[in-house]
Structure formats: structure tokens, C-alpha cells
């Protein structure tokens, strides 16, 4: 006998129960110099697959994008002796991704300035378009990831610092079903 729901009502009940599932996943890695391969993509896809057991595909895609972006930034900018902490939390109300790493004052100020620019913008999509034009005209690569998280994936961004550890946070409020 199958335990799978068979009626539309049973399917809706299952969706409702799954959407209340709480998931917390944490990874600590040090030193980052030992990373060989595309860790950002691997973590993003792993968490996407895990969330896919409980949440709608759009939630899973957003988690993948945030994890991949944050981890890529850390691996690109961290010292080889640095550390990386990735935490994902999702429940019925919000998807939260936090990534922490060791930074110096200048690195923190640069990220904090970018996050403030995004958060202070009244039109993040227009800011993204303007930034793309600016960077293209100067043949600059990259620099759009945080903007895309806010503009295309509707994440609220924040950054904090505790000593020499910076934590980036992306939070997306889930729509009530």
C-alpha cells in the first residue's frame, strides 16, 4: 500500500506540512587554501537539493544563488589561511543565508559601503542597470553579485563585523501559502 497522497486535498495538506519544515545547515572550513574545485557551486547545489525535499523550487533556487554568490566572494577575496562559515536557515517564514570570513578593515568597509548603497536605493533594479552600464563602459568584470541578490532574487542584505570576522546576511521573506 502506498503512503503517497492521492487526492488534491491530501497533496495540499502535504505541501502545508512541508512548508513548515525548519532546516538549518552549517559548514565551517579552514584554511580556504585547501579548497580544490568549485566549492561554491557544490554547496549551492547541495543545499538546493536538500531544500527541494521540503520547499518550492523558487526557494531552492534563491538559496543556491545566495550561497554560490557569497562563497565565491569569500574564496576570491579571502587570504589562503582564512576560514569560511556558511549557515543556511529556512522555516515557513524566511530563507536566511549567512557567510562569515576573516577580513581586514578595508575589505569590511568596501562591502559595508556596497550593502549600504543597495539598501539606500529606492530602485534597486535601476541601480543594477546603471551599475552594469558603468562597469561595461570601463570594461570592468564582476561586481554585480550583491546587486543581483537584492534586485533579481529579492533578498534583504546586511553585513556586520565582530573583530576581524565579517558576516554577510541575505534574507528572503517567504510568501504565505
The reply to whether 144 falls in a domain is: yes
| Domain count across the chain | 1
**For 110-113, which contacts have Cβ atoms below 8 Å and span 24 or more sequence positions?**
111/159, 111/166, 111/168, 112/159, 112/161
The CA R_g of the chain, rounded to the nearest whole Å, is 18
Question: How distant is the alpha carbon of residue 166 from its chain centre?
Answer: 15
The reply to whether 137 falls in a domain is: yes
The reply to whether 160 falls in a domain is: yes
User: CA angle, corner 115, sides to 112 and 117, nearest 5?
Assistant: 110
- Domain of 41, CATH number, reads 3.30.565.10
Mean model confidence pLDDT for the chain: 88
Q: What is the pLDDT of residues 110-146, one digit of tens each?
A: 999 999 999 999 999 999 899 888 888 887 776 788 9
The reply to whether 27 falls in a domain is: yes
Q: In what order do the strands lie in the sheet with 84-90?
A: 23-29, 84-90, 94-102, 165-173, 156-162
Q: What is the pLDDT of residues 146-166, one digit of tens each?
A: 999 999 999 999 999 999 999
What's the pTM?
0.84
Instruction: Read off the pLDDT of each residue in 59-76 and give the average, rounded to a whole number.
Output: 94
The reply to whether 5 falls in a domain is: no
User: CA angle, corner 59, sides to 54 and 64, nearest 5?
Assistant: 105
Q: What is the DSSP letter of 132?
A: H
The reply to whether 113 falls in a domain is: yes
Q: Domain range for residue 104?
A: 22-173
Whether 158 contacts 115, CB under 8 Å? yes
The reply to whether 14 falls in a domain is: no
The reply to whether 2 falls in a domain is: no
Amino acid at each position: 500500500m502506498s503512503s503517497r497522497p492521492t487526492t488534491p486535498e491530501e497533496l495540499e495538506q502535504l505541501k502545508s506540512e512541508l512548508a513548515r519544515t525548519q532546516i538549518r545547515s552549517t559548514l565551517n572550513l579552514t584554511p580556504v587554501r585547501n579548497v580544490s574545485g568549485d566549492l561554491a557551486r557544490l554547496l549551492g547545489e547541495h543545499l538546493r537539493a536538500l531544500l527541494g525535499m521540503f520547499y518550492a523550487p523558487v526557494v531552492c533556487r534563491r538559496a543556491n544563488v545566495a550561497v554560490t554568490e557569497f562563497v565565491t566572494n569569500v574564496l576570491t577575496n579571502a587570504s589562503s589561511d582564512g576560514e569560511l562559515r556558511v549557515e543556511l536557515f529556512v522555516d515557513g517564514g524566511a530563507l536566511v543565508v549567512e557567510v562569515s570570513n576573516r577580513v581586514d578593515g578595508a575589505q569590511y568597509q568596501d562591502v559595508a559601503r556596497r550593502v549600504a548603497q543597495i539598501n539606500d536605493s529606492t530602485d534597486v533594479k535601476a541601480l543594477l542597470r546603471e551599475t552594469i552600464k558603468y562597469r561595461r563602459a570601463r570594461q570592468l568584470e564582476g561586481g554585480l553579485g550583491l546587486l543581483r541578490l537584492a534586485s533579481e532574487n529579492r533578498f534583504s542584505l546586511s553585513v556586520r563585523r565582530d573583530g576581524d570576522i565579517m558576516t554577510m546576511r541575505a534574507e528572503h521573506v517567504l510568501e504565505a501559502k
